[in-house]
Structure 1
Amino acid sequence: MEIVSKLRNLDAYPKVNEDFYSRTLSGGLITILSSVAIVFLFLSEIRLYLYSATETKLIVDTSRGERLRINFDVTFPALACSLVAVDTMDVSGEQHYDIKHDIIKKRIDHLGNVIESRQDGVGAPKIERPLQRHGGRLEHNESYCGSCYGAEVSDDDCCNSCDEVREAYQKKGWGLSNPDLIDQCKREGFIQKIKDEQGEGCNIHGFLEVNKVAGNFHFAPGKSFHQSFNFLQDLLNFQTEHYNLSHRINKLSFGREFPGAINPLDGASWAHQTSSGMYQYFIKVVPTIYTDIRGHKIHSNQFSVTEHFRDAVGYPRPPNGVFFFYEFSPIKVIFTEENSSLLHFLTNICAIVGGIITVAGIIDSFVYHGHRAIKKKMELGKYG
């Protein structure tokens, strides 16, 4: 019994007989408001506990020898698909022109409706038996070796495409005046494609794999177009200085998507009064690693961008096209999803409940004693 008595004396919460309670209207209102605040903050704390928070950390990027994937989706409302090409180059000296793999082109009309969708480089007219170098047609099981039409340097030279015929003529100093007579050019159907696509636009989307070094990729009137332009100028009444390169960037990202990623060029469009010129986007790529709550890592990139347009005037005259110049930040950003610990959650709950009850008690005491003091003064004034 002595131990029980000692424990009773340690009670920090002495009980008051209900007969001594004094309940007030202000106390009831304060109780309701404090209860609402406790419930609201309690639910907020549960939400923070159940949903992960993201911690951000910056480190020096020491990665080497990696490849960069560039995802793009760009629409040219007034440039035909047969005229637009994708080129890349970087500071290491690697260059690729008129890239066709992993790229899809969609022919669109002036209203933006899709006329045709095809993988780039696919869809040229097919000739079952192309012309061989020796003058005959390709026979069954025979290897194809196209004629260079007199521009062969040796008996082993073959020209299997319109570009190769043109290059052979160029080495000889000859002009390719009538490609309709060249079997390779006729088979590739380039001239007919340009005729068919007059007045159309083009949506081009896909991805590029490039070295992780500074460089650029750009959309411009294609190499094949420039090679064939001499005989197309009279045919189609084009002018080399005036391409309508107005465009809309539907999507542009570097690497895989991750939660919270913002691509600042998505939905951007540029329609300049002067159609010819050099549209330039200067991009700073920031390597990023996103680690989710399960520990899965997503290696990606963020980027910032500035824009500039350079008119095709003056000397030297800039090339026509839409250019994306990119370089890499030496800093890598690491995002990590983390959940609050159970102990931290319980500590916050106790702090919320105890804090609100304490503050509410102080307010109630202030209101109660203030009301009593005012009432007492009023009574003294009345009887005095």
Structure 2
Amino acid sequence: MSAKELFERIRQFDAYPKTLEDFRVKTFGGAAVTIISGLIMVILFVSEMNYYLTKEIHPELFVDTTRGQKLKINIDATFPKMPCAYLSIDAMDVSGEQQIDVDHHLLKQRIDNNGVAISETPEKPDLGDPSQKLVEVVTKPLDPARCESCYGAETEELKCCNTCENVREAYRKKGWAFNNPESIEQCNREGWTEKMKAQKDEGCKVYGYLEVNKVAGNFHFAPGKSFQQHHVHVHDLQAFGGQKFNLSHRINHLSFGQDYPGIVNPLDGLKLDAEQGRYKLWLTISFC
């Protein structure tokens, strides 16, 4: 069987025979129908594809019967007028648990007045702990077995204060104000005051997450070392010489629990600029 005969037999299966070119008539109406039909087919195809790729979210309300598990709070906030060395974050809830200077996987990024990062590597000290990563000005090696003074704030648990932060912690437990760091040898050795002055005109970006109990409570950002005194939550600002603080901020992202596609976080992108002379000293966010 020749190839021509094979093609002739295959053509017999054509269910849509074409008319001869001599009998075809092209009109303006036919062209319009063709164009409109093509557009409709494209629109239907795109809409169906979009519907197929869109995730459907079905909200459900149920009672959480788990115990001992923590709630994850994802945070990304920028404070253009608040230095990282000054900023602390605390969390407390109705069960009575209080977390002072929370550092649950939180990072601090120093930024300038334009929001540009000063250092590419973020720091991860305890928030509100300005004694970390200080420039050492020690002229001689320190004895690892030394036991330096806590300047009258010694306790049974903390008898030696070998760093500036140890002294601050001892003062915090005693409920004393840390208002004269220049007179403390450890702080002078670590350059605590110099760092406060160096970061005076900087800002801070805090991001990461913290974990809290699954009960009603709140967490807040505020300047100064926090401590408890007579069941009152206090922030010690004496060490900063009575200067004013501007807690203007932008919440880049704030969510609770695991993120999933399509979720809407109402506080994302919220920006608040404190007016001159009406500065807020804290930013509080409640959870439950």
Q: Distance in 2 between matches of 1:271 and 1:85?
A: 19
Instruction: Decide which of 260, 263, 268 is 1:266's aligned counterpart.
Output: 268
Does the C-alpha gap of structure 1 residues 87 and 167 become closer, same or farther in structure 2, counting only changes over 3 Å?
A: closer
Q: Deviations over 1:157-197 (max 9, x none)?
A: 22344354356568889876643342332345332211101
Residue of structure 1 equivalent to 2:99? 96
Q: 1:276 to 1:164 in 2, by over 3 A?
A: farther
* 1:257 correspondence with 2:254: no
Task: Report the Cα offset of residue 108 of structure 1.
Answer: 1.9
Q: Which residue of 1 aligns with 2:219?
A: 217
Q: Is the 8 A contact 1:244 1:275 kept in 2?
A: no
Match of 1:322 in 2: 283
**Equivalent pair of 1:67/1:210 in contact (CA under 8 Å):** yes
Partners of 2:39 and 2:179 in 1: CA distance: 85
* Structure 1 pair 118–126 and aligned structure 2 pair: CA distance change class (3 A): farther
Amino acid at match of 2:122: R
Partner Cα separation in structure 1 for residue 111 and residue 158 of structure 2? 43
Q: CA deviation at 1:155?
A: 11
In 1: Cα distance, 2:110 partner to 2:157 partner: 41
Match of 1:147 in 2: 149
Give how far 1:125 is off.
Answer: 3.0
Q: 2:134 aligns with which of 102, 124, 128?
A: 124
Q: Deviation at 1:207?
A: 1.2
For the 8 Å contact 1:245–1:276, the answer to whether it is kept is no
Query: How far apart are 1:223 and its partner, in Å?
Result: 0.8
Alignment of 1:1-384 (within 5 A): 39=41, 43=45, 47=49, 50-51=52-53, 54=56, 56-65=58-67, 66-116=69-119, 117-121=121-125, 122-126=132-136, 137-139=142-144, 142=145, 145-152=147-154, 157-166=159-168, 168=170, 178-223=180-225, 229-230=237-238, 232-233=240-241, 238-239=242-243, 242-273=244-275, 276=278, 278=280, 320-327=281-288
The separation in 2 between residues aligned to 1:49 and 1:246, in whole angstroms, is: 41
CA distance in 1, matches of 2:217, 2:53: 40
Separation (CA, whole Å) in 2 of partners of 1:187 and 1:197 = 18
Residue-pair matches, total: 249
Q: Secondary structure at the match of 2:60?
A: strand
CA distance in 1, matches of 2:50, 2:210: 40
Contact 1:71 1:252 in 2 (8 A): yes
CA distance in 1, matches of 2:245, 2:177: 24
CA distance, structure 1, for counterparts of residue 187 and residue 203 of structure 2: 23
Counterpart residue identity of residue 253, structure 2: K
Report the Cα distance in structure 2 between the residues aligned to 1:184 and 1:59, rounded to whole angstroms. Answer: 54
SS across alignment from 2:64: coil
Q: 1:324 to 1:29 in 2, by over 3 A?
A: same
Q: 1:60 to 1:268 in 2, by over 3 A?
A: same
Structure 2 vs 1, CA of residues 176 and 245 (structure 1 numbering), >3 Å: closer, same or farther?
A: closer
**Alpha-carbon distance in structure 2 between the residues aligned to 1:68 and 1:41:** 44
Query: Structure 2: where are the runs of 5+ without partners?
Result: 1-26, 126-131, 228-233
Distance in 1 (CA, whole Å) between partners of 2:155 and 2:31 is: 101
**1:103–1:206 CA contact under 8 A, matched in 2:** yes
Which structure features the higher share of strand residues? 1
Contact 2:224 2:237 in 1 (8 A): no
Change (3 A) 1:176 1:216: closer
Superposition TM-score, scaled by structure 1 size: 0.53
In structure 2, C-alpha distance between the alignment counterparts of 1:263 and 1:187, rounded to whole Å: 45
Name the CA distance, whole Å, in 2 between partners of 1:185 and 1:271: 33
Return the alpha-carbon distance in structure 2 between the equivalents of residues 41 and 322 of structure 1: 48
- CA positional deviation for 1:249: 1.2
**Sequence identity of aligned pairs in percent?**
40
**1:269 alignment partner, SS class:** strand
How far apart, in 2, do the equivalents of 1:216 and 1:156 lie?
Answer: 30
- How far apart in 2 are the matches of 1:47 and 1:90? 47
Secondary structure of the corresponding residue to residue 260 of structure 2: coil
Q: Secondary structure of the equivalent of 2:212? A: strand
Distance 1:67 1:194 in 2: 35
Question: Does the 8 Å CA contact 1:105/1:119 hold for their aligned counterparts?
Answer: yes
More helix by share: 1
Q: Contact 1:106–1:202 at 8 Å: present in 2 too?
A: yes
Cα deviation, 1:313-355, whole Å, max 9, x if unaligned, reads xxxxxxx20111122xxxxxxxxxxxxxxxxxxxxxxxxxxxx
Contact 2:246 2:279 (8 Å CA) reproduced: no
Residue identity in the other structure for 1:138: D
Larger radius of gyration: 1
Q: Which amino acid aligns with 1:258?
A: Y
